[in-house]
């Protein structure tokens, strides 16, 4: 159990450096299954989720560890791969499921536990499975495992029913070693997909179009080990932009890729936040009078990211007027709204929309963290609320996705500390 104590009401000020992207690191580490020998992945954030994927790689027979000598670097040695992924790790972190593509490509057989749902939704993997079948695999479900088999994967044509990030990644990884050409249509366009493709291309894969909705992969015989540095975390950057805005502070966020933050920057600007973008940094100036309410609808990239929906909702609880926040990607990603109400927010839920009537102020209170980005939203709200907010983060959700977040927020004036848990 982790408890974070936040003393709110102070504007954030100063410089903040973004860590490497969690959602690029996880598929790229999974993709090391495709590469023989020793690969080195740099700019990897120190996160519980990264430790989980490292444990999955170890369970599959690879050697993987954070480097003792170079910070934020993971070394992977791949001499042999087992085909069965461990139940407890895949159910602990859904993202582990996309090891199915690499294992199937290397072993011709993959046995991966069917991931359960999580707080934000049932999170099915039907599109992943259809993708493996499009490459000639036979897939069945037995005793809670997805079992995929194919002597040799064959290039095929695959149209995704929904531009699923993970399914696009699984299929793209598997297609790199398939015989012939694969066309992935209605592919997800998130920047983490292009980063995974760049990693694979550096290892000798032939991929064209990653980052667009049509990706063409020409299978090759073998890939080679590489050294690769991960892109920055656009969701961490967006989270800090919202935190600077809601506390009416002024923060320079460094180490970002501006075009990855367009939708978030535009939405904050529409509400009246002053945003200055430069080559690898963005200055957010929230000082001045109250912001105005705006409507937000989450969409696949380049639309407004669902992973920023809880954080922008927290920001809008203090905006002047009524905002409508619509979640179109996940069916149950409003858990944070109930907790924001405990801090004094005025929110009504109507199906997949939250109607947020801005209030003059939030007041600190104990709240519960249900998932990673809900935790980020409550952290932001606590920074703006009068008095103390205590986040009860039973499953350490926040540490799963934000590297050294307490130290980094304190570095820009956030009064955040780990509360000592008195076990009665």
Residues acting as catalytic residues:
118
251: Cα separation from own chain's centroid: 22
Q: Does residue 330 touch ligand EPZ according to CB under 6 A?
A: yes
List Cα–Cα distances, 8 to 98, 204, 380, 385, in angstroms. Answer: 39, 50, 9, 5
Q: Does residue 54 touch ligand EPZ according to CB under 6 A?
A: no
By C-beta, is 307 or 393 nearer to ligand EPZ? 307
Query: Of the listed pieces 69-77, 145-153, 157-165, 236-244, which binds ligand EPZ according to CB under 6 A?
Result: 157-165
Q: Does residue 372 touch ligand EPZ according to CB under 6 A?
A: yes
> What are the tokens at 282?
């963005």
Q: Does residue 264 touch ligand EPZ according to CB under 6 A?
A: no
Integer Cα distance of 219 and 285 in angstroms: 48
Q: Does residue 23 touch ligand EPZ according to CB under 6 A?
A: yes
By C-beta, is 166 or 232 nearer to ligand EPZ? 166
> Of 78, 70, 20, 79, whose CA–CA distance to 44 is shortest?
20
Q: Does residue 307 touch ligand EPZ according to CB under 6 A?
A: yes
List, in order, residues 6 or more apart from 199 with CB less than 8 Å away: 28, 31, 226, 228
The one among 127, 215, 312, 337 contacting ligand EPZ by CB under 6 A = 127
- Which parts of 231-364 are beta strand (E)? 250-254, 274-277, 281-285, 296-297, 322-326, 346-350, 353-357
The residues that bridge with 208 in the sheet, in sequence order, are 216
Determine phi and psi for 64, rounding to 5 degrees.
-145, 135
Site string for ligand EPZ, 189-218 (x = CB under 6 A): ---x--------------------------
Integer Cα distance of 92 and 223 in angstroms: 29
By C-beta, is 165 or 217 nearer to ligand EPZ? 165
By C-beta, is 128 or 336 nearer to ligand EPZ? 128
Q: Does residue 166 touch ligand EPZ according to CB under 6 A?
A: yes
Q: At closest approach, how far in Å is the CB of 201 from ligand EPZ?
A: 19
Q: Does residue 173 touch ligand EPZ according to CB under 6 A?
A: no
Give the sheet arrangement for strand 415-418, strand by strand: 366-368, 388-393, 2-7, 415-418
The residues that bridge with 405 in the sheet, in sequence order, are none
Q: At closest approach, how far in Å is the CB of 16 from ligand EPZ?
A: 19
The one among 12, 41, 57, 95 contacting ligand EPZ by CB under 6 A = 95
Q: At closest approach, how far in Å is the CB of 381 from ligand EPZ?
A: 17
Which residue sits closest to ligand EPZ, CB atoms considered? 166
Tell me if 80 sits within 8 A of 36, measured CB to CB. no
By C-beta, is 164 or 286 nearer to ligand EPZ? 164
Q: Count residues contacting ligand EPZ (CB under 6 A)?
A: 25
Site string for ligand EPZ, 103-122 (x = CB under 6 A): ------------------x-
> What are the tokens at 163?
């531009």
List Cα–Cα distances, 225 to 40, 41, 79, 104, in angstroms. Answer: 8, 10, 11, 19
Q: Does residue 260 touch ligand EPZ according to CB under 6 A?
A: no
182: Cα separation from own chain's centroid: 26
The one among 164, 198, 239, 247 contacting ligand EPZ by CB under 6 A = 164
By C-beta, is 100 or 268 nearer to ligand EPZ? 100
The alpha-helical segments, DSSP class H, found in 317-423 are 335-342, 372-384, 397-401, 405-410
The one among 41, 74, 104, 167 contacting ligand EPZ by CB under 6 A = 167
Query: Of the listed pieces 53-61, 158-166, 176-184, 386-394, which binds ligand EPZ according to CB under 6 A?
Result: 158-166
The one among 126, 179, 280, 346 contacting ligand EPZ by CB under 6 A = 126
Q: At closest approach, how far in Å is the CB of 48 from ligand EPZ?
A: 12
List, in order, residues 6 or more apart from 274 with CB less than 8 Å away: 284, 285, 286, 288
Torsion sign over Cα 134, 137, 139, 144: negative
- Identify the helix (H) or strand (E) that includes residue 126: helix 126-134
By C-beta, is 26 or 416 nearer to ligand EPZ? 26
Q: At closest approach, how far in Å is the CB of 287 from ligand EPZ?
A: 29
Integer Cα distance of 358 and 313 in angstroms: 10
Q: Does residue 159 touch ligand EPZ according to CB under 6 A?
A: no
Q: Does residue 96 touch ligand EPZ according to CB under 6 A?
A: no
Q: By the criterion CB under 6 A, which residues form the site for ligand EPZ?
A: 23, 26, 94-95, 121, 123-128, 162, 164-167, 188, 192, 306-307, 329-330, 372-373, 401
């Amino acid at each position: 159990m982790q408890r974070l104590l936040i003393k709110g009401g102070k504007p954030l000020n100063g410089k903040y450096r973004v860590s490497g992207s969690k959602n690029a690191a996880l598929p790229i580490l999974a993709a090391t299954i495709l590469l023989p020998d020793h690969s080195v992945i740099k700019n990897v954030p120190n996160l519980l989720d990264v430790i989980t994927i490292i444990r999955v790689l170890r369970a599959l027979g690879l050697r993987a560890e954070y480097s003792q000598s170079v910070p934020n670097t993971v070394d992977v040695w791949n001499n042999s791969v087992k085909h069965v992924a461990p139940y407890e790790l895949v159910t602990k972190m859904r993202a582990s499921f996309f090891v199915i593509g690499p294992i199937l490509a290397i072993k011709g057989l993959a046995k991966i536990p069917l991931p359960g749902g999580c707080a934000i939704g049932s999170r099915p993997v039907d599109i992943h499975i259809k993708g493996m079948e499009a490459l000639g695999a036979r897939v069945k479900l037995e005793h809670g495992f997805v079992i995929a088999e194919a002597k040799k994967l064959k290039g095929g044509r695959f149209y995704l029913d929904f531009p699923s990030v993970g399914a696009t990644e699984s299929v793209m990884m598997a297609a790199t070693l398939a015989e012939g050409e694969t066309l992935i249509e209605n592919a997800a366009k998130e920047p983490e997909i292009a980063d995974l493709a760049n990693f694979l291309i550096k290892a000798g894969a032939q991929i064209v179009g990653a980052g667009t909705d049509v990706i063409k992969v020409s299978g090759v015989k073998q890939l080679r080990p590489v050294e690769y540095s991960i892109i920055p975390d656009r969701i961490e950057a967006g989270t800090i932009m919202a935190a600077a805005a809601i506390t009416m502070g002024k923060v320079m966020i460094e180490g970002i890729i501006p075009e990855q933050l367009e939708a978030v920057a535009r939405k904050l600007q529409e509400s009246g936040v002053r945003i200055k973008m430069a080559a690898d940094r963005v200055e957010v100036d929230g000082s001045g009078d109250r912001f105005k309410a705006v409507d937000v609808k989450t969409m696949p990239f380049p639309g407004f990211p669902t992973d920023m929906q809880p954080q922008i909702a927290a920001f809008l609880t203090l905006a002047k007027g009524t905002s409508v926040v619509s979640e179109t990607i996940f069916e149950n990603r409003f858990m944070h709204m109930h907790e924001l109400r405990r801090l004094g927010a005025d929110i009504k839920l109507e199906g997949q929309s939250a109607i947020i009537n801005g209030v003059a102020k939030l007041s600190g209170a104990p709240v519960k963290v249900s998932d990673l980005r809900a935790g980020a939203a409550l952290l932001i709200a606590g920074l703006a609320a009068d008095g103390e907010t205590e986040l009860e983060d039973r499953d350490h959700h926040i540490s799963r996705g934000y590297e050294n977040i307490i130290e980094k927020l304190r570095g820009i004036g956030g009064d955040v500390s780990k509360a000592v848990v008195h076990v009665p």
